[in-house]
A and B are shown apart, each in its own frame.
Chain A
Amino acid sequence: MRFFGSMHWVTGGSGLIVGLLFLFSSVQPQESEVDDEICLMCHEDYDMSLSSTKHRLLLETPESVVKVHCISCHTGAEVHIDDPDEGNIGNPAKAFAAEAESVCTSCHQPHTHIRAVGYDPHFREDISCTSCHRIHSTNAFQLIDEEGGFCSVCHVSIGNEFRKRSNHPLSDQAVTCMSCHDFTGRNEANLGHGSNANCYQCHPEQSGPYLYEHQATSSFSTEGEGCTACHLPHGSPNERLLARTGDLLCLQCHGTPPLHRVNHDGIGIQFLCVECHSEVHGSYTHRRMLDQQLGTRIGGEHGSCYCHGVGD
């Protein structure tokens, strides 16, 4: 019932905003220096490719609050009309990144922030807005691939990571690339609000903070690297996105205390580290991150096990 109760807030709030939506609209269109009709005389039907998009030409919707003309993106039209050479007209799809960016960000300013903050590596290599967005396209957000698989068009090796034994549910579209790769620099790694906070948005049950922290899980501490110290977020040959199997994962950082492993091996069961130290993300009850029900899980009484009494 709580779930549906929350739904009422979602739908109610949305309804309120729908109402507000239609109360506001005041911006008037501006006149173009070169009429779109002149462009369309040669570039026949190019307006059709824009008609169902945000870039619908102003001549089709004179009351539109957004003033889009051909020359909004294609600069240099006056010269191009006199000499219709391809080189005489600006084309963001063929320009190099800095030029394309300056055209697109004259309206889509949040994208300027991406580059200003500099966490997005795309701009480093002359990959610009038009590398992912095809403006004369009817796809959602004018993306190259409407299914959201457009990232793996270039990042094929990463796409193949999602075909391993365990992976994030990209194929079910329960997550997308941009669920984690926010592009706006919100979640830079190794900071208090960093990559872990990104993970905790979907995995809040692991988020702590714990009285007894496992420092490896902390993205900002002097010891830790965050969730990705143990988990491979795209895909892994092991269960639960783990980088290594069994004890090897723990032993990557922890040397085995003398006799500790030998004695437990002696039982003949070969306990794994996580069978006793099950609170691997952190614990409120034990600084060794021992299982709260250790005794009942592997024999003996609650709070103890075969070899050690309560309090040992």
Chain B
Amino acid sequence: MMSLKILLVLVALVSMCLSSQVVSGNDYHGTIRTGYIFTDIEGNQSVHQPTYNLFDGVMLSLEHFRYNWDNGMRLSADIINPALKSRRANVSFGRLGWGSITLHHNSYRRTYNFEGSSFTRRKTTSGSAWIQPIKHLKLFGGMGVTDKSGTSRALMESPTDPPAHLVDYLNRYYHAGVEIKYQRSYGRFEYRVSDYIDDVPGSDDRLTRRLRMFVYTPMPNFERIVLGAGFHRFENTVESKQDTLSANTVWGVARYSDVNGYQIRYSFVFDRSSRTGDLAATDNILQTLSVGKTWKNRGGIIAGYGYRINDDIRVERSGSEYSISTWYAPSKQLSLRAGIGWSSDNVDSGRTLTGDRDYTRHWLSARYRFAEGFVRLRIDNLYRSNFDIGSKSDFFRGTLDASISSSSYGNVVASYSFGDGEYSNSFGMFEFSEHVLSGDAFSSEYHRIQLGFGGSYYRARQDVDIEAFSIHLTGKYRFYQNACLEIIYSAHNFDNFDDLPAPYLEYYTANVVEVSIAYEL
């Protein structure tokens, strides 16, 4: 039924476009695509996420459709495969300075067992709109619904057991608000409600409400100083248990910046969260101060300090955070960036399971640009330590990527990431190292033909032993001025080399062929 509705919208849009093309001044572009997706799948369908939402069947899409009327009205639409269960659509219509409407639909499947018979499907449909009745005022609102149903499995539940976990809920959400702006001052008020209805016996419905308002303005006579403040209230209620989690947050900020590149910023956040089922409330207080200087097109540095208090009467934590980040461009081709941040979080009174915590993060990146593209290297390191329980994690990641573009030959992008992680605690250690290689190449058109190749390769070793790859080959033949035949062959593969018992075997292979004709409007 939903497919039919979206299909009708698609037909209406194309008809409108074709029938009004003679009107002077209107312009439009987009692509209509039709064809078929063939799939051949073997193995455990719950292990390779990129193919969870893969279906075979008729393709019919309107891609990147934009219609501009001479009077400033605009319509944009992306309607992808409404005849398939992996459909998605975004349609937007509006007029600049007057208002706009956006509609969205998406359907997503997630599978949980070997043969794919246990799955959940999430269908999301939403609409939002805004109007601007007068210059300084904008009203906005919207509503949507997410419907999720099916059967899932608990973690490590045997795939040979019948599906044990029913999923069947509906989540409706609404929002409305107003924006006010006058010169360089701005204010916003919005209210959001989410009504969650769970139809699984024994489950609970929930109502979530969120109120948010803020305002900021340059200080009169000191335009370089911007002041801002806001309030946020969040409430989440399980109606059958009469239990509510609520949070009230107040924040404020003052920022000074000038044309010479100096900036100073101070902010505070005060948050009190409480539950009706718990007598104690938790206070979160955060203050930050940062100072920076930027040298135009040459470099910059910024240093920040933050102090945090986390207090629920029984336990009080406090912590300091420090950060320094800098960038430097010695030439137009080369730019360097680096940063370090560390924080220490201590239990001042009371006792917690995880105790004191330390975090450190540092990163470094360098990019070299040349006429046809760039090469970039980035290194990240994250470290966390909980001394009291002997727990720590140490994660390193390095990425090298490059992009080369040539109007004569085509485009190539490629990247390689290496990650190494180590989590240890009093019981044992979990280690992994990962390699991700990905890339895409697409040729320029030559004798009406374009060819492309791309894919990704993932390998995890040590305590997990996994290999996954996806490749795709694309061929495009332009047989008419605005029309082309496109064939895409994709192969997906997943293997877990751990010695798993039969019901948990994790291998997967899929071959997918998409044959389509695309017509450019």
Q: Does residue B170 face the partner (Cβ distance < 8 Å to A)?
A: yes
- Kindly state the separation between the CA atoms of A157 and B419 in the bound complex, as whole angstroms: 10
Q: Does residue B241 face the partner (Cβ distance < 8 Å to A)?
A: yes
Q: Does residue B214 face the partner (Cβ distance < 8 Å to A)?
A: yes
Main secondary structure of the interface of B (DSSP, over half): strand
- Kindly state the separation between the CA atoms of A54 and B145 in the bound complex, as whole angstroms: 30
Query: B53: which of A112, A169, A223 is its contact (CB, 8 Å)?
Result: A169
Query: B389: which of A6, A164, A240, A253 is its contact (CB, 8 Å)?
Result: A253
Query: A11: which of B127, B245, B269, B294 is its contact (CB, 8 Å)?
Result: B127
A174-B53, A208-B236, A244-B430 in contact; A163/B436 too (CB < 8 A)? yes
B428 touching A251, Cβ below 8 Å: yes
Q: Which residues of B contact A82 (CB under 8 A)?
A: none
B327 touching A204, Cβ below 8 Å: no
A253-B354, A254-B353 in contact; A191/B275 too (CB < 8 A)? no
A14-B101, A207-B208 in contact; A251/B426 too (CB < 8 A)? yes
Q: Which residues of A contact B156 (CB under 8 A)?
A: 246, 272, 274-275
Q: Does residue B57 face the partner (Cβ distance < 8 Å to A)?
A: no
A125 touching B129, Cβ below 8 Å: no
Query: A27, A192, A220 — which one has the most chain B CB atoms within 10 A of its CB?
Result: A192
- Kindly state the separation between the CA atoms of A239 and B157 in the bound complex, as whole angstroms: 12
B98 touching A25, Cβ below 8 Å: yes
Query: B337: which of A125, A159, A211, A244 is its contact (CB, 8 Å)?
Result: A125
B123 touching A191, Cβ below 8 Å: no
A156-B376, A252-B425 in contact; A21/B170 too (CB < 8 A)? no
A192 touching B246, Cβ below 8 Å: yes
Q: Does residue B220 face the partner (Cβ distance < 8 Å to A)?
A: no
- Kindly state the separation between the CA atoms of A9 and B134 in the bound complex, as whole angstroms: 26
B98 touching A156, Cβ below 8 Å: no
- Kindly state the separation between the CA atoms of A9 and B50 in the bound complex, as whole angstroms: 33
Q: How far is the CB of A220 from chain B (nearest CB, A)?
A: 5
A222-B352, A223-B352, A252-B423 in contact; A117/B228 too (CB < 8 A)? yes
Query: B378: which of A7, A157, A166 is its contact (CB, 8 Å)?
Result: A157
Binds A, one of B70-78, B445-453, B476-484, B509-517: B70-78
- Kindly state the separation between the CA atoms of A186 and B269 in the bound complex, as whole angstroms: 12
Q: Mark B132-165, 1 if CB is under 8 A from A, else 0.
A: 1111000001011111000000111000000010
- Kindly state the separation between the CA atoms of A66 and B247 in the bound complex, as whole angstroms: 39
B245 touching A192, Cβ below 8 Å: yes
B399 touching A207, Cβ below 8 Å: no
Q: Which residues of A contact B290 (CB under 8 A)?
A: 118
- Kindly state the separation between the CA atoms of A8 and B247 in the bound complex, as whole angstroms: 33
Q: Does residue A131 face the partner (Cβ distance < 8 Å to B)?
A: no
Binds B, one of A37-45, A91-99, A302-310: A91-99
A6 touching B49, Cβ below 8 Å: no
B249 touching A192, Cβ below 8 Å: yes
B47 touching A165, Cβ below 8 Å: yes
A24 touching B247, Cβ below 8 Å: no
A-B contact pairs, 26 of them (CB 8 A): A11-B127, A17-B99, A21-B98, A24-B132, A61-B71, A98-B259, A124-B292, A138-B29, A156-B399, A156-B401, A173-B106, A174-B53, A186-B212, A205-B198, A205-B203, A215-B353, A220-B247, A220-B273, A222-B311, A242-B155, A244-B430, A253-B353, A253-B386, A253-B391, A255-B426, A297-B164
A-B pairs, 5 with minimum CB distance:
A192-B247, A192-B273, A65-B97, A193-B234, A157-B399
